[in-house]
Amino acid sequence: MRRYFGTDGVRGVGGEDLTAELVERLGKAATLWSGRGRVFVGRDTRASGPELEEAFARGVVSA
């Protein structure tokens, strides 16, 4: 099983290790874990950023 969590957070290659489905599930899990408070989403400038940000946000909303 691949290890996704490193010292700098979730790590992997967008579209390969980090699929939209996985990131959406992470968004939902993070929201449920946080007690449904505010969730802030940040990303870097990589090409996969917008798609993964949107997937994470879908997970947050679905929680």
Query: Could you tell me if residue 36 is inside a domain?
Result: yes
Give the structural domain span for 53: 14-62
CA dihedral sign, ordered 62, 23, 4, 11: negative
Query: Could you tell me if residue 26 is inside a domain?
Result: yes
Q: Is 54 helix (H, G, I), strand (E, B) or coil?
A: helix
Query: How many other C-beta atoms can be found within 10 angstroms of the C-beta atom of residue 11?
Result: 13
pLDDT of residue 27: 93
Q: Rounded to the nearest 5°, which phi and psi values hold at 39?
A: -125, 125
Segments in 5-48 forming alpha helices (H)? 20-33
Query: Could you tell me if residue 2 is inside a domain?
Result: no
Query: Could you tell me if residue 21 is inside a domain?
Result: yes
Cβ neighbors of 39 (< 8 A, separation 6 or more) are 27, 30, 31, 60
Q: List, for residues 1-59, the tens digit of each pLDDT value.
A: 466 667 778 888 899 989 999 999 999 998 998 886 788 888 889 999 999 999 999 99
**Count of structural domains, the chain:** 1
